[in-house]
Structure 1
Amino acid sequence: MKHEDAIDSYYRASLSVPPLRPSLQESVQADVCVIGGGYTGLSTALELAERGLDVVLLEARSIGWGASGRNGGQVCSGFSAYTDKLEAAVGREDARRLFDMAEEAKTIIRNRVETHDIACDLKWGYYLAAERPRELRDVEAWQEDWARNYDYHQLKVVPTAEDSRRHVNSPLYIGGIHDAGAGHLHPLAYCLGLARAAETAGVRIFEQSPVSRIKRGASPGAQTESGPEVHAKFLVMACNAHLGQLVPELARTIMPVGTYMAATPPLGESRAAELIPTDEAVADLKFVLNYYRLSADHRLLFGGRVSYSTMMPPDLPRAMRRSMLRVFPQLAEVDFDYVWGGYVAITMDRAPHLGRLDETVYFAQGYSGQGVSLSAIAGRVLAEAISGQAARFDIFARLPHQPFPGGRFLRTPMLALAMLWYRLRDLMP
């Protein structure tokens, strides 16, 4: 079968994507049914299969069709939520456990890439660039907090514009902070590699199998739109930004946010190295941030902008190019070969949302821009909980999550107004 709904992205164009797997044609039994074929679903399914459970995974479209195959490829440290928020929610001791699990997530990725021979261009090194003195003050406090309270010593403050140019050759930045423990990868290649690893471990994956209804309680299950069902002992909801109204109480706690990527033509090895000499992932320190890195074939992959509706922003390529040229004015004659977008799910406080709907139905969602790394540990703790060891999962589940105000129809304009405040704050010195 062909990928008729494939996204025209650089990621997909750069890979030999396998044919679609069959859809679910008849009802089946399993120990666990996982709904969603992105990082969370695949990580959970792989972890469960490695523990000896029989797993069926249902994907509405194709593996990696959502954010897992379209994102910026950044493997980040920590959480989008600040550590003081985590400490206020669960206390210093459990906040430290959460931080350690976020660190474990990066180790999981490293080990999976090596163990399963996933060719996804995984590289380490991450630079966060500051435009304003306030941002430099913030990163100094950040480095001190993580070193003192979380025993994380991979951060190094970059104090001057001259030092910053050794990381990213842009006149825009006055300094920043370097994270030797974070990195970047080809997101779709990693996702497809996870799928192969899961199938090798025994997971049955069905694509083009959207779920229309779930059954909770002692005998949970999932019914597909075409009729066949999966009957299981446990159900895992791993739909994230594409949950829709399948579980309304979960949908209220996340907001799908559009974010966008662009890829230049190949720049050549030397010119690409002039832009980012360290070949690291780069992001700025704004709330609505730009993020970028180099591809294996020496393109600049540039991400940024957000939208809070289902509509793509008007004149997106031109707007993305303006943002790129603000960072790299030396690319004045360079246009884009590809521009694409997708949705990530954010929560009110930017902390990931893991929990149970009841004793047999689990979920994970709302990574708020850090799903590449955090989905790895989410999959592991979900598998631990289903296997009867829920201590680490329960720390995540203790994080409080409020529904977005305004209901289904008013929450988008309300969030847009809130984001306007953050945009104005980004302009403060």
Structure 2
Amino acid sequence: MPRMPHVDSYYAASAHPAPERPRLQGQERADVCIVGAGFAGLSAALSLTERGYSVIVLEKARVGWGASGRNGGQLSGAYATDMSNIRNWVGREDARRLFEFGEEAKRIIARRVEKHGIDCDLVWSYLHAANKPRHFEELRKMQAEWAEEYGYNGMTLVGRDTLGQHIDSPAYAGGLYDPNSGHLHPLNYCLGLAAAAEAAGVRIYEDSAVTSLDTGTSPVARTEEGEVRADYVVLCGNAYLGNLVPSIESKVMPVGTYIGATPPLGRERALGLLPTNAAVCDSNFVLDYFRLSADWRMLFGGRVSYSTLMPPNLPRVMRARMLRVFPQLADQTFEYTWGGYVAITMERTPHIGRLGGNVYFAQGFSGHGVALTGVVGDILADAVAGQAERFDIMAKLPHTTFPGGRLFRTPTLVLAMIWYRMRDYMP
């Protein structure tokens, strides 16, 4: 049976060579079985192995096949919702701890890239772009709040008159520059994590989708050709976990997001567009995000789909979005366009928890998974090892079930998003 390849993307075309891992066949035993070989699963596997556990990872396709190998590569702190919301939900002290988790997430990536020699084009430079004056005021408040409440300094508010220092575009009213966030090649980072995990003793099986899971006192994960018996199971399938565990499936919604990559523009032209080589994310609810690749392409993302349907004529639609930001790229088309699903929660915060005493899960990173998956992997490893303090803090975050059940959840969300799309057009 043929293997499921990575999606046809710039990332796959520029990925470092990686071995083809075997399918799971027969019965295996491990201390911990992890479902999903993306950022979260591999981070948890590496952390657990460093603590002395034997670990098996089961992946339905290839390492980094899902969101971890397709995303925008943007590496930022905090969460997809405002910290003021988090403070209202969990209180001031736990909000501070949760903010620090986001900062630790960035340090984990920097540390692993250096320790394991992961070649993933890591760059520290980030710009929050304000589409409108009201967005600029919101960024001003965010800068003050993060400095006063969380001790996060170093961000610079950039008005329209000096915005050209970071981006050459007529589309924005200003921005907030953060030199302590950045971007990377996500698939190469994921492949590097897998190599580091295997070097530490983790066994990774590809093309080994879990078809059923026993979550009792002795968990068993079964595939078409084998099974893994373990003391603990950690579920990190996120948007691609499907209905394997119905009790947590209703807390997340798979949302399509899409990226286009131009041909190489050349260093001078590329840095003329983004002089500080920053990853940029705008302030709309239905947002655009973009950055330069290491070979000086424009990687432009956006065009969120809440219906799970691929937009028709995706290259044309994505190019039109890019030209609204960079009209000077009118001579460019996309060499690659691709998409995939991220899992969002209603509250736009990660959903972690346990099922019984020995099955853990992490899902719903809501667009902030490049960074947060690393610290969540560590937190899950802590919990398995009996150190649940950080796990319990993150598990305090509330998570609302998406309305409508499996049949009506998507159309209900599509209707709800109409209001937010309309608000993006308001002054």
Structures share fold, TM-score greater than 0.5: yes
TM-score range, shorter chain: over 0.9
Q: Distance in 2 between matches of 1:406 and 1:17?
A: 43
Paired position in structure 2 for 1:112: 112
Q: Distance in 2 between matches of 1:120 and 1:315?
A: 30
Larger CA deviation: 301-310 vs 352-361: 301-310
Q: Secondary structure at the match of 1:245?
A: coil
Amino acid at match of 1:273: L
Structure 1 residue 26 displacement after superposition: 1.4
Q: Distance in 2 between matches of 1:216 and 1:129?
A: 45
> Is 1:343–2:333 an aligned residue pair?
no
Q: Distance in 1 between matches of 2:333 and 2:261?
A: 9
Amino acid at match of 2:179: A
Structure 1 residues 147-162: aligned runs within 5 Å: 147-159=147-159, 161-162=160-161
TM-score by length of 2: 0.98
Structure 1 residues 295-374: aligned runs within 5 Å: 295-374=293-372
Structure 1 residues 115-126: aligned runs within 5 Å: 115-126=115-126
Q: Distance in 1 between matches of 2:174 and 2:205?
A: 48
Is 1:22–1:206's contact at 8 Å kept on the other side of the alignment?
yes
Q: Distance in 1 between matches of 2:306 and 2:398?
A: 23
Q: Secondary structure at the match of 1:395?
A: helix
Paired position in structure 1 for 2:26: 26
Amino acid at match of 1:255: M
Amino acid at match of 1:129: A
Q: Distance in 2 between matches of 1:6 and 1:179?
A: 32
> Is 1:267–2:268 an aligned residue pair?
no
> Is 1:132–2:132 an aligned residue pair?
yes
Is 2:4–2:62's contact at 8 Å kept on the other side of the alignment?
no
Structure 1 residue 368 displacement after superposition: 0.2
Paired position in structure 2 for 1:428: 426
Identity of aligned residues (%): 57
Structure 1 residue 292 displacement after superposition: 0.5
Q: Distance in 2 between matches of 1:194 and 1:112?
A: 8
Q: Distance in 2 between matches of 1:115 and 1:320?
A: 37
Structure 1 residue 225 displacement after superposition: 2.3
Structure 1 residues 27-66: aligned runs within 5 Å: 27-66=27-66
Q: Distance in 2 between matches of 1:84 and 1:221?
A: 41
Q: Distance in 1 between matches of 2:424 and 2:6?
A: 35
Q: CA RMSD in A?
A: 1.1
- 1:266-285: per-residue Cα shift (whole Å, max 9, x none)? 01111111110001101111
Structure 1 residues 72-111: aligned runs within 5 Å: 72-111=72-111
Is 2:4–2:61's contact at 8 Å kept on the other side of the alignment?
no
Amino acid at match of 2:32: V
Q: Distance in 2 between matches of 1:191 and 1:3?
A: 19
- 1:196-242: per-residue Cα shift (whole Å, max 9, x none)? 0000111000000000111112111201123x110000000000000
> Is 1:401–2:399 an aligned residue pair?
yes
Q: Secondary structure at the match of 1:46?
A: helix
> When the two structures are aligned, how many residues end up with a matched partner?
427
Q: Distance in 1 between matches of 2:316 and 2:20?
A: 34
> Is 1:255–2:253 an aligned residue pair?
yes
Q: Distance in 2 between matches of 1:210 and 1:425?
A: 40
Is 1:3–1:19's contact at 8 Å kept on the other side of the alignment?
no
Amino acid at match of 2:99: F
Paired position in structure 2 for 1:186: 185
Q: Secondary structure at the match of 1:178?
A: strand
Structure 1 residue 4 displacement after superposition: 4.4
Structure 1 residue 311 displacement after superposition: 2.1
Q: Distance in 2 between matches of 1:134 and 1:313?
A: 30
TM-score by length of 1: 0.98
Amino acid at match of 2:301: G
Is 2:68–2:370's contact at 8 Å kept on the other side of the alignment?
yes
Structure 1 residue 90 displacement after superposition: 1.1
